[in-house]
Structure 1
Amino acid sequence: MATFLYRGRDQSGNAVEGNLQAGNRDMAIAQLMQKGVTPLKIAEQATAQASKPVSLRSAKISAEELILFTRQLYALTKAGVPIIRALSGLAESASNEALKVVLDDISQVLVSGSDLASGFRRHPKLFSPIYISMIHIGESTGNLDHALIRLVGHLEMERETKKRIKSALRYPIMVVSAIVVAMVVITMFVIPSFSAVFSKLGADLPFATLILIATSEFMQNWWHLLLVGTIVGFVGFRQYISTDAGGLWWDRAKLRLPLIGSIFERIALARFSRSFSMMLTAGVPILNTLTIVAGSVGNLFIGKAITSMGDGVQRGERLTNTAMQTGLFTPLVLQMMAVGEETGSIDKLLDEVADFYEQEIDYELKQLADAIEPILLVFLGALVLLLALGVFLPVWELSGAVTGK
C-alpha cells in the first residue's frame, strides 16, 4: 500500500491538501471522491510494505460497545451509506480507542481492494468466528444489513445470558468472600488473644479449642508460605488451562460441578443451537457451520463433540445420529432434530431448541440462589458452632470452676 500526497478542493471550493494510503493512484482518487474532495494533483510519496494486522494485545471492546457498533453499522448499511464511509464515520465517533484503531484498519483494508470479511478477520480477538462468518455471508449474498441485524440479536442474547449468570452468582461469591476474610481475621488476631489467656490458666482445653489454636499457630507461622503457594498455584492453574489439554480438562470438569455444571452445559448447548440455526438460515453449508460453531460455544469439551458431529456428517451419517452419539442432547431435543431433518426446517426447529434450553437456564438460575442459600447457612452455622465451642466453652468451664470454689 502506497502513501499519496494530494491537493484538491472540497465541496465548498476550498483548497485542501494532505496524504492518504491506497493500493494505487485510481484507488486514491476514488477515496478522495468518496470524501467529497476533487483532486487536482496526486503524487506517490512512498510504497509501504504489505500491511500487517494491528497489534491490540491489551485492547478490549465490551459487549455493549460491540452491540452498539453492530447496530450502528446495520443502520448505516440499510440506509445505503457506502461501507467505507460508514466505517470511517463510526471510527471518528467511537469513544473506545481500540475500536477506533480497528475500524480505521478495516477501512484501509477495504480501500486496498480486499473484502469486508478479510478486514474483520485481521482481529480475531475482538470478533468471533461467527461474527466474521456472518459478515462474509452477508457480503457475499448482498444482504449485509440482514446479517448485521441477526448478529445484533445474537450478541444481545449472549450478553443477557452472561448477566443472568453474574447476577445468580453474585450473592454466593460475596458470602464466601466474607467468610474467608472473617476466618483470616479470627485465626490471625482473635484466637491468639484467647490462646494466651488459656495458656496462663493452665487448664485442660476442649478439643474444639485445641483445633482452633493449632490452626491459628499454623497460619501465623506459615502464612507467607501459604500466600506464595496460593499465588503460585493460581498462576500455574491458569497457565495449565490455557493449554489445549488443560482447557479441555477444565471445560469437562466444569460440566460436572455441583449445582452449576448443568447450567454451563445448557448455556453451551443453547449457544450451539442458536448459532447453528443462524448460520444455516444464512446459507452456510452444514459442515462449515459445524466447524465454525464448534469453536464458539465457549466450551472445548462440547466443541470437540460438535466437531465429531461434523466428522459423522462428512461420512454420510444423519445429523441426528451424530448428535445422539455425543450423549449431550436430551431425547426431546434429538426428536426435534429428527423432525427438522425430515421436514427440511432444521434451522427453525433448532431455534425452538435454543428457546427450550434458555428456558431451562432461566429456571436453573432462579433455583440456584435457593439451592445455595441453605448450604451457606449450614456452613456458617457449623463455623459459628466451632468458634463458640472453641472460644466460649473453656471460658464457661473456667467460670464454673471458679464459682465452685
Structure 2
Amino acid sequence: MPAFEYRALDGSGRRTTGLITAESETAARRQLRQQQLAPLAVRRTDARAGSPAAARAPGSWRGLVGPRDLSTRELMLVTRQLSALVDAGMPVEESLALVGRQLEKHSMRRILMAVRARVTEGKRLADAMAAEPGSFPPVYRALIAAGEASGGLGLVLSRLADHLEAEQAVSNKVVGALVYPAVLAVVALGVVTMLMLLVVPRIAEQFTGLGVTLPVLTRAMIAISNGLATGWPWILAILAGASLAFGYAFRQPGFRRLFDAHVVRLPLIGPFFRQVEAAAFARTMSILITSGAVLPDALRAAGRASSNHAFREMVAVVVRDIESGRGLSDALTRGGWIPSLVVYMVAAGERSGRLGEMFGRAADQLGQDIDNSITIGLSLLEPGIILVLGTMVVLIVLSILLPILQLNTLVLG
C-alpha cells in the first residue's frame, strides 16, 4: 500500500506533519479527517524522487520535512533491524513497515515508507532503494541485489550491518584522534595570540622613550604584536577567503583528484590514510565476494565506495588488469596502495579459493594496525604541540626579559 506524507491542522489549529498509508491520495485525506485532522497537503512519499529541481526549489516539500538522506549511523540502525526481522522470516514489506513505524525521525520514516511503497508495487528491494541514492549507496544496493538473487537476504543484511558498524568505528576513531590535537592547537594559538595582543604591547610601552636600542627579538615581537593589532581584520578576511576558495575547489573533480593524490604521499599522514582506504576496500570486497559478486564487478563497486578519487583511479587500473588476465594479487601490487601483508593474504585466498575470507582477515588486521597508528600518533602529537607552544611562550618571555637585563646592565655599569 502506498505511503503518503501530509501536513494538516489538528483541532486546536496547530500544524502537524506525518506519514500515512492508504490506497490513494483521496483515501489518505479521508483517513486524516477521520482522525480529526484537516489536511493541508498530501503527497505520495516517492512522488518527487529523483527530481533535483524539486529538491532545490525554495519552500519545496523536501525542505519542509527535513533532510532526505540517511546518515551512516541511521543506515546502520535500519540495516540491523531489517536483518533481524528478515532472518525471523518476516516478509520484506512488513519488515520495512515495522522498522519505519519505530523510527523517531520523520525523515527516516518517510524514506523507509517510500521504499516499502515501491516494494508493495512489485519492485525488488534493491530497485526500490535505487530511488533514494543518497541514502542507499551503490555498493549497498549491489549487495542487497545479490542477497535477493541468492535467497540469503537476511545474511547479507547482517553482513552489511557489521560492515557499516566497522566503518563507523574506524570513522569515529579517526575523528576522535583528530579532535583532541585540534582543540589543543586552538587553545595554544589562543594563548599565544592573547600574549601578543595584551602583554607585549604593555611591556613595549614601558621601554618607549628610554632611548635605548632594544634587542632584535624584542623588536621582532613588538612588530608582530603591532601587526596583529592593526591588521587582524585583513588576516580574518584572507583566512575566510582562502577557506571559501578551497571549499569551492575541493568540490571540483580535477582539484579533488590532485588533492587526494598528494595527501596520501605526505610523509606522516599519507601511510595512515592509505591504511584507512585499504581497510575499507578489503572489508567491502569481503562482503561482495562472499555474497557471490563477480570479481570485476566487486572491484568496481568497492572502488565507487571510496571517497578518495586517486584510490578510485587505482582500482580502475586493477580492474583493467584483471580483465586482461592478470591475477588479483599482481594487479594490487602494481597499484601500490595495498599493504604487502594484504597482498600476500589475497594471493593465498586466490590459491585456496577463499578470497572473501582472506579479504575479511586482511580488513581485521588493517583495523588493528589503524588502532596502533592512532595510539602512536596521539602519543607523539600531544607533546609536539606542547613543545611548540612552550617554545613560543619562551620566546615571548625572553623578548620581555632581555630589555630588562639590558637596562640593569646599563644602570650598574
TM-score for both structures, normalised by structure 1: 0.84
Q: Shift of the alpha carbon at 1:229?
A: 1.0
Kindly indicate whether the alpha-carbon contact (under 8 Å) linking 1:269 and 1:297 is maintained by their aligned counterparts in 2.
Answer: no
- One-letter amino acid of the structure 2 residue matched with residue 232 of structure 1: G
- One-letter amino acid of the structure 2 residue matched with residue 192 of structure 1: P
Provide the rounded CA distance (Å) in 1 between the counterparts of 2:109 and 2:211: 72
Provide the rounded CA distance (Å) in 2 between the counterparts of 1:158 and 1:230: 33
2:224: which partner in 1?
Answer: 215
2:183: which partner in 1?
Answer: 174
Secondary structure of 1:201's match? coil
Provide the rounded CA distance (Å) in 1 between the counterparts of 2:319 and 2:21: 52
Q: Shift of the alpha carbon at 1:283?
A: 0.5
Provide the rounded CA distance (Å) in 2 between the counterparts of 1:76 and 1:126: 20
**Aligned pair in 2 of structure 1 residues 172, 363: CA closer, same or farther (>3 Å)?**
same
Q: Percent identity?
A: 26
Which one of 46, 52, 64 corresponds to residue 48 of structure 2? 52
Provide the rounded CA distance (Å) in 1 between the counterparts of 2:364 and 2:95: 34
2:316: which partner in 1?
Answer: 307
Which one of 292, 305, 313 corresponds to residue 301 of structure 2? 292
Kindly indicate whether the alpha-carbon contact (under 8 Å) linking 2:103 and 2:109 is maintained by their aligned counterparts in 1.
Answer: yes
Q: Shift of the alpha carbon at 1:19?
A: 4.3
Secondary structure of 2:373's match? helix
1:259: which partner in 2?
Answer: 268
Q: How does 1:51-200 map to 2 (within 5 A)?
A: 51-53=47-49, 55=55, 58-59=67-68, 61-200=70-209
Provide the rounded CA distance (Å) in 1 between the counterparts of 2:178 and 2:46: 48
Q: Shift of the alpha carbon at 1:112?
A: 2.8
Q: Shift of the alpha carbon at 1:319?
A: 1.3
> Cα RMSD between the aligned structures?
2.8
Count residues in correspondence: 370
Q: Which runs of 5+ in 2 are unaligned?
A: 5-19, 28-42, 56-61
2:32: which partner in 1?
Answer: none
Offset from partner CA, 1:62-120 (integer Å, 9 cap, x none)? 44332221111111112222222222222222112221121121122223332211222
2:395: which partner in 1?
Answer: 386
Kindly indicate whether the alpha-carbon contact (under 8 Å) linking 1:131 and 1:151 is maintained by their aligned counterparts in 2.
Answer: yes
Secondary structure of 1:20's match? coil
Secondary structure of 1:295's match? helix
Kindly indicate whether the alpha-carbon contact (under 8 Å) linking 1:206 and 1:394 is maintained by their aligned counterparts in 2.
Answer: yes
Kindly indicate whether the alpha-carbon contact (under 8 Å) linking 2:80 and 2:157 is maintained by their aligned counterparts in 1.
Answer: yes
Offset from partner CA, 1:201-248 (integer Å, 9 cap, x none)? 332111111111111122222211111111111111111111111211
Which one of 358, 361, 364 corresponds to residue 370 of structure 2? 361
- One-letter amino acid of the structure 1 residue matched with residue 23 of structure 2: L
Kindly indicate whether the alpha-carbon contact (under 8 Å) linking 1:74 and 1:148 is maintained by their aligned counterparts in 2.
Answer: yes
Offset from partner CA, 1:307-359 (integer Å, 9 cap, x none)? 11111111222212211211123333322222222222211111222122122
Provide the rounded CA distance (Å) in 1 between the counterparts of 2:266 and 2:362: 24
Q: Shift of the alpha carbon at 1:281?
A: 0.6
Provide the rounded CA distance (Å) in 2 between the counterparts of 1:18 and 1:264: 46
TM-score for both structures, normalised by structure 2: 0.82
Secondary structure of 2:305's match? coil
Secondary structure of 2:209's match? helix
**Aligned pair in 2 of structure 1 residues 107, 392: CA closer, same or farther (>3 Å)?**
same
Is 1:230 paired with 2:239?
yes
Higher mean C-alpha displacement, 121-130 vs 289-298: 121-130
- One-letter amino acid of the structure 2 residue matched with residue 350 of structure 1: F
- One-letter amino acid of the structure 2 residue matched with residue 306 of structure 1: V
1:31: which partner in 2?
Answer: none
Kindly indicate whether the alpha-carbon contact (under 8 Å) linking 1:251 and 1:299 is maintained by their aligned counterparts in 2.
Answer: yes
2:284: which partner in 1?
Answer: 275
Provide the rounded CA distance (Å) in 1 between the counterparts of 2:95 and 2:358: 36
